Chains A and B, each alone.
Chain A
Amino acid sequence: MRSGSGVFLSLTYWAFVVYLFVPLALMVTMGFKDSAFIGFPIQNWTMRWYTGVFQDGEVLGVFAYSLAIALSSTFFSLVIGTWIASFLGPTTFRGKLLVFGLACLPAVVPGIISAISLRIFVQFLAIEPGMAAIVLGHTVHNVPFVMLVVMARLSTQPRSHVEAARDLGADALTAFARVTLPYLKPALIGAAVFCMLLSFDDFVRSFFLGGYEPTLPVLIFAMLRSGMSPEINAIATVVLILTAILGLWAEKSMRTSERKTAA
């Protein structure tokens, strides 16, 4: 009975792994096909799609554009999210739950709804569709994640740390900068990477808020409409590798930094 359920569990697990990785493997493999269309069989192999990605000025430009949007929206999300977390964390006041709920809302509103409403709002503010609008949209979406991660970390900081800093002559701002902020470091690293990935990956908001210049997901979508070329596979593979490296690095540096401040 016990071994029966064990076999069942491991079978379903492997089924899940196959389901997860076979499409990815197919995508990577098709990037090596020497033909303008994807699909089996692969008669000739080539590296030209991959080398092409790094020589295609348009793709590189769009990549840089997406990266700039991800970096700026992450920066703003970190600042605003940390600010709200620090405000909500230590104090209790009437309506705290309401502020908390409102701050969480952007994370749960369906992407399409949020994208449409942001588009209307941006128009209302007379901001041109484009980078500023997309950064604004991504920031609004990412703030709740930063806030939740930072609040969780903040709740483990002993109250005496800040008090000791104040006792030794620090005003509230100095105590935050020199004692609380270093303590939050692992949470901030994790939140930053998560925000980067969310922003880089976002299609709906970027599509609705963008101008003529596409972000990477929007570009890939546009390319798909004119046929499944192996170049798309190559672009996607490069993005996959970069994001995986970023995720693993964040995981590792969060662990070491958390261990250092565990005392």
Chain B
Amino acid sequence: MTSPLLRIEHVTKSFDDVVAVDDLDLAVEEGQFVTFLGPSGCGKSTTLRLLGGFEVPDSGRIHLGDDDVTRTPPNRRDVNMVFQDYALFPHMTVERNIAFGLELKGRGRGEITRRIDELTDFLGLADLRARMPDQLSGGQRQRVALARALAPDPRLLLLDEPLGALDAKLRGQVQVELKAIQRRTGKTFVFVTHDQEEALTMSDRIVVMNAGRIEQDGTPEDLYRRPVSRFVADFIGETNLFVGTILDNRSGLVTIEWPSVGRVIAGSTTDHPPGASITLALRPESIVCRPAEPDLANRFEGRIRQRIFKGPRTTLEIEVGHETLTAAIDPATAATLTDDRLWLGWPPEAVAVLRD
């Protein structure tokens, strides 16, 4: 087993009594696309700035490979950053911007030219080399910033919400591009965003942060299907949350009494004993809706209160007992359902038992 490229050990950072990063502990393997995801103020940007060397932790250590870089200034770390506002040098051409890091590393003229050729070809900037930053579009600036940060061939590339300034359509395109670039370069990317869709699209691994701490750390699929907390379930995608009482908990199946609805079986493990009150999460697209009783462990009768057509999916607001569930089903199936009576159900593994 190789040692991880990046190790963050019990790092804490406060600003004027506000704890921005609280005892963060994390290791990142080489070649991963890791995303720190969370709302503003959750500590994700501070974590990135700690990795870049723009902040020094109050306690804890940061290792890059075998080196302790906790107090190494930014200019002596093998780490480069793509800034939120791109921070292109306004008085330099695209080419001079990209060359900046290479010149300071003392690379020869020939090598610098070769590297610029390589990167401008790779990122489709070949025709823009002589332009000034104010003559570029948002997407072009973003690529120049990326080229500039990749030029010195850093061991770790940090990206601080670099897609925030792009319009929605371009953003989707750049997400796919960025992921492809990461694959082709094999570089380790640490990406920061508050946009859950962006995180799901690009990441090999997502670290959800809240109030300076790691809320959950896993693959995009893990996080989506198996959120561990209310915060994660709520933050990533749409979800139905409901509270019930544990009746039985054995062999990987938890039986829960959901007041006014009935018994729900969840294919999950939990430490909570019978009698405890717990929160469950259920994704709208996991709910199956049928005119007749389905063959599923969890099945209930309900009434449709509202239908919302959303193109590929139709969203139904369904009244079950005194509760309301949101289901997302395909429009063809929705057309076969009558509003005042339908069956809905879901398999046990669709239900996630949350810790809070």
B74 close to A260 (CB less than 8 A): no
B75 close to A166 (CB less than 8 A): yes
B87 close to A260 (CB less than 8 A): no
Q: Name the B residues within 8 Å of A170 (CB-CB).
A: 75, 104
CA distance A121 to B239 in the complex (A): 78
Q: Contacts A169-B101, A169-B104: A263 and B81 contacting too (C-beta < 8 A)?
A: no
Give the contact-size bracket for chain A. 20 to 34
CA distance A179 to B96 in the complex (A): 12
B84 within 8 A of A: yes
B91 close to A182 (CB less than 8 A): yes
A169 close to B54 (CB less than 8 A): no
- CB of A226, distance to nearest CB on chain B (Å): 53
- CB of B34, distance to nearest CB on chain A (Å): 19
B101 close to A168 (CB less than 8 A): yes
Give the A-B contact count at a CB cut-off of 8 A: 74
Main secondary structure of the interface of A (DSSP, over half): helix
Chain A 160-182, CB-CB to B under 8 Å as 1, else 0, gives: 11011111111100100011001
Interface residue ranges of A208-263 to B (CB < 8 Å): 260-263
B73 within 8 A of A: yes
CA distance A158 to B81 in the complex (A): 15
Q: Name the B residues within 8 Å of A32 (CB-CB).
A: none
A63 within 8 A of B: no
CA distance A193 to B121 in the complex (A): 45
B57 within 8 A of A: no
B252 within 8 A of A: no
Q: Name the B residues within 8 Å of A145 (CB-CB).
A: none
A183 within 8 A of B: yes
Q: Name the B residues within 8 Å of A179 (CB-CB).
A: 89
CA distance A158 to B145 in the complex (A): 15
Q: Name the A residues within 8 Å of B84 (CB-CB).
A: 160
B89 close to A161 (CB less than 8 A): yes
Which residue of A is nearest B52, CB measured? A167
A260 close to B100 (CB less than 8 A): no
A263 close to B87 (CB less than 8 A): no
Q: Contacts A168-B101, A168-B148: A158 and B85 contacting too (C-beta < 8 A)?
A: yes
Q: Name the B residues within 8 Å of A166 (CB-CB).
A: 53-54, 73-75
B132 within 8 A of A: yes
Which residue of A is nearest B98, CB measured? A168
B132 close to A263 (CB less than 8 A): yes
Q: Contacts A160-B84, A167-B52, A170-B104: A260 and B134 contacting too (C-beta < 8 A)?
A: yes
- CB of B64, distance to nearest CB on chain A (Å): 14
With most chain B CB atoms within 10 A of its CB, the pick from A158, A166, A179, A183 is: A166
Interface residue ranges of B88-134 to A (CB < 8 Å): 88-91, 100-101, 104-105, 132-134
Q: Name the B residues within 8 Å of A260 (CB-CB).
A: 90-91, 132, 134
Q: A-side interface residues toward B, CB under 8 Å?
A: 158, 160-161, 163-171, 174, 178-179, 182-183, 185, 260-263
10 closest cross-chain pairs (CB), A and B: A263-B134, A168-B101, A169-B104, A160-B87, A164-B87, A182-B91, A261-B90, A166-B74, A160-B83, A263-B133
Pairs A–B under 8 Å by Cβ, sample size 17 = A158-B85, A160-B83, A161-B87, A164-B88, A166-B53, A166-B54, A167-B74, A167-B79, A167-B149, A168-B80, A169-B75, A169-B105, A179-B89, A182-B89, A182-B91, A263-B90, A263-B134
